[in-house]
Structure 1
Amino acid sequence: MNNTIVVGMGEALWDMLPEGKKIGGAPANFAYHVSQFGLDSRVVSAVGEDELGVEILKNFHEKKLNCMIETVPYPTGTVQVELDRNGVPCYDIREGVAWDNIPFTPALEGLARQTRAVCFGSLAQRSVVSRETINRFLDVMPDGEGQYKIFDINLRQGFYTKEIICGSMRKCNILKINDEELVTISRMFGYPGIDLQDKCWILLAKYNLRMLILTCGVNGSYVFTPGEVSFVETPKVEVADTVGAGDSFTAAFVASILRGLPVNEAHRLAVATSAFVCTQNGAMPVLPARLTEGLTTE
């Protein structure tokens, strides 16, 4: 297990929140939580030659978060985030920024060859440079029984196309999607009329996926695998904000699967982790030992 590297790949940015700025981007959230479960993780992204970029690198260093982040001649990404009265974020994502321009380097190719699991999304594929880098990484990464390529769809603003979604579904072996995204994708693919579970079975079969994770907010979550489905209810908690909760879910689930836990146990731990993150401000709280201790021991 010691040579298991888990990669979060894509956007690194600042969320400009009403109360100030916080480091954001699913890849860092994912990689940080994976590392809390005792696995060797990396964030792959790019920042600008500016103070915001320097600050991101410093922050990751302080969090002991390993990264392969290139500095490129574009501004570091920022997102204006407004929270509605339920604490749910709405985003305005700046374009033409550093993480749109992640280069495919020899070092990144070397990392891909050692990667056991990678999590990538649709947002970081909005520009051709980063999209090609992500696809090359996925192609170089080994294929095999214990290798996981997790496509965590994140449909933000208009930053996705049917072509990008289809391409990513073909390259991944685990799809993570929420109920709203599933409705959008179903319309795009032309099967809007059937229930959510049937849509999941169709996608699982069509793209030959090992697993499909469907999260439905307060209505629980499902993990579909060929032949069976796991359902776990969402615990009722006092929500501080939901930023990063989905990324912590994915991280706990992947860490559990890599440690050899059955799908249902991995699913339960993922739900508990995500629920805890909802009770905390920000996307990267320190997780309590009750969540991590079962996995961090070799």
Structure 2
Amino acid sequence: MKREISNSKGVCFGEILWDNLPTGRKLGGAPLNVAYHLNKLGIHTDMLTRVGRDADGEDIIRLCAELAIPLTLFQKDSKYPTSTVEVDIDENKDVRYEIVFPVAWDYIALGEKEIETVNKADFFVFGSLSTRHHASYQTLQMLIKVANYKVFDLNLRAPHYTKERIFELLGYADLVKMNEEELGFVAAWMGLSDADTDTAKAEAVMTTFNINELIITYGAKGAIYHSWLGKFSYHFPALKVEVKDTIGSGDSFLAAFLSQRCRQDHQKTPEEMLEFATTLSAFVTQSTGACPSYDEVTINRFVWLNSLDNTKY
């Protein structure tokens, strides 16, 4: 990993919260995690969100400042509290979430500053969870109209989604990221057969919703990048690591991919984009929490150690 300051800029929209883990409280929220990693990777990325005027909110703002996450688009709510999530991790390292409703980020407001920032950004990242309430969803719909490159991270969290809302969001996106299970949900809603291959399902999704790029993540089996722009499907295997938890691994994957996909100096190959994305995702998976501390030396050492572990003599 070589950290380079990029001319690209992004905006992430949606939830920011405290994940109450068995090991303690951790900063979380899928779009916040993406923003954290993008800023770590040298791409200025604003986080458009809302916290309560409470101790939890002040703690989030203080920590985000320490993590160098821009605070320009943070909003404060006097009525609704800062979001918290109860997290349970089972013996298989699978994660379950209990997300409180309603909270401050259900009421993200729209203003000239928000519109101007999104319009000037190279990409705009949003998920499905932050659309569970009509207030934030109306704001998102207006921002999508002025966004240049729209990135939709499915991130399904029951019961906070509907088929109709997911279909609407898919119709807005230029790039979509989902995992294997989420692809199954969307395919079933579309009436596709279980016998269809994942490639056939992906092509059907892209055709139906006019999506140019689709990433399907498969955990330990890697990821596939489908592109109509390049007319290809490219599979890249995951690195083998000892899993501590999977919180935020998909978010770090998306951030790393975007850091390569949206470069303005030169075009990266699919292999380069996916290699970097799977590397950062693997590092996060073998770390605790979604936003572990790291730098260029840390990631380079991780890659070196992983290559030693996988060397066959």
TM-score interval w.r.t. the shorter chain?
A: over 0.9
Q: Given that residues 14 and 24 in structure 1 are in contact (C-alpha distance below 8 angstroms), is that contact kept between their aligned partners in structure 2?
A: yes
1:244–1:283 contact (8 Å) kept in structure 2: yes
- Please give the alpha-carbon distance, in whole angstroms, between the structure 2 residues aligned to 1:288 and 1:205: 39
Shift of 1:273: 0.7
Residue 23 of structure 2 is aligned to residue 24 of structure 1: no
Q: CA deviation at 1:92?
A: 0.4
Shift of 1:22: 0.7
**Is there any run of 5+ residues in structure 2 with no aligned partner, and where?**
301-313
How far did residue 33 of structure 1 move?
A: 0.4
Aligned to 2:290: 283
Could you say which residue in structure 1 is the equivalent of 2:238? 234
Contact kept, 8 Å, 2:6 with 2:42, in 1: the verdict is no
Q: Deviations over 1:201-247 (max 9, x none)?
A: 11122222221000011122100012211101111101111111100
1:187 equivalent to 2:192? Answer: no
Please say if 1:15 is aligned against 2:19: yes
Aligned partner of 1:132 in structure 2 is: 138
Name the structure 1 match of 2:80: 74
Q: Distance in 2 between matches of 1:2 and 1:31?
A: 14
Identity of aligned residues (%): 34
Note the 1:216-255 alignment, pairs <5 A.
Answer: 216-226=218-228, 227-255=231-259
Task: Kindly indicate whether the alpha-carbon contact (under 8 Å) linking 1:3 and 1:114 is maintained by their aligned counterparts in 2.
Answer: no
Output the TM-score relative to the length of structure 2. Answer: 0.88
Contact kept? 1:124, 1:131, Cα under 8 Å = yes
1:270 maps onto 2:277 in alignment: yes
Q: Distance in 1 between matches of 2:299 and 2:74?
A: 27
Normalising by structure 1, what TM-score? 0.93
Counterpart position of 1:117: 123
One-letter code aligned to 1:198? A
| Separation (CA, whole Å) in 2 of partners of 1:288 and 1:129 | 38
Structure 2 Cα separation of the partners of residues 211 and 287 of structure 1: 29
Cα separation, 2, equivalents of 1:52 and 1:159: 23
Matched-pair contact (CA < 8 Å) for 2:283–2:299: no
Q: 1:265: Cα distance to partner?
A: 1.1
Q: Distance in 2 between matches of 1:43 and 1:292?
A: 24
Contiguous gaps of at least 5 residues in structure 1: 143-147, 294-298
Aligned 8 A contact 1:103 1:133 in 2 = yes
Distance 2:17 2:172 in 1: 25
* Range moving further from structure 2, 273-282 or 202-211: 202-211
Q: Which residue pairs with 2:200 in the alignment?
A: 198
> Which range moved further: 85-94 or 247-256?
85-94
Other-structure match for 1:55: 59
CA drift of 1:86 comes to 2.2
Moved more, 132-141 or 95-104: 132-141
Rounded Cα–Cα distance in structure 1 between residues aligned with 2:24 and 2:245 = 14
Paired positions, count: 288
Contact 2:7 2:43 in 1 (8 A): no
What is the match of residue 89 of structure 2?
83
Contact 2:187 2:205 in 1 (8 A): no
Aligned-partner residue type, residue 177 of structure 2: K
What amino acid is the match of 2:235?
F
Q: 2-side partners of 1:91 and 1:163: how far apart?
A: 23
Whole-angstrom CA distance in 2 between matches of 1:47 and 1:121? 18
d(CA) in 2 for partners of 1:109, 1:99 = 17
Tell me if 1:101 matches 2:107.
Answer: yes
Amino acid at match of 1:69: F
